[in-house]
Amino acid sequence: MKRIRILHGPNIPYIGRGREPQWYGTSPWDEFQSKLQAKYAHVAILEALESPYEGRLIEWVWEIDKYDGLIINPGALAHTSYALYDALRGCGKPCIEVHYSQVYRRERFRQRLLTAKACMGVISGLGWLGYELALVALLRQEGITSISLDWD
């Protein structure tokens, strides 16, 4: 059984709850998270944490020793945080950065993903599906290849 930590930065909990629905849709994280956990319960234990505070996210990255990988949506910290970049780069676990919206169709400042350089991959613009793809990629990285990719 693999353990995957999912970290969310600032403003992520407001997706599906009024936050710019033209970019973020109307489905909240907690509904998707329940489905994701149920679908992959046979191969993974998922722990999702959220904080608007950069320092707390950095602490959670460094507390990765009990986990096999990390999925992170750092929110706007992806564009500004060298400290988070350093933590991701130094934690020694595979990490995939996910952005719900397509950052390359948005404001210019969002197109520079500083933290992405510390990750093995980046998924942008696929909504909640991006998290599932990141999870499948991490599980395959860990040697679990029997995962069905039937999207329902």
Instruction: Name residues whose C-beta falls within 8 Å of residue 121's C-beta, 6 or more positions apart in sequence.
Output: 96, 97, 134, 137
Q: Is the dihedral of CA 51, 26, 45, 124 positive or negative?
A: negative
CA 117 to chain centre: 14
Q: Which of 67, 99, 100, 131 is catalytic?
A: 99
CA 128 to chain centre: 10
24 labelled catalytic: yes
Q: Which of 8, 24, 67, 85 is catalytic?
A: 24
The DSSP bridge pattern shows strands 2-8 and 44-50 to be: parallel
Residue numbers annotated as active site = 24, 99
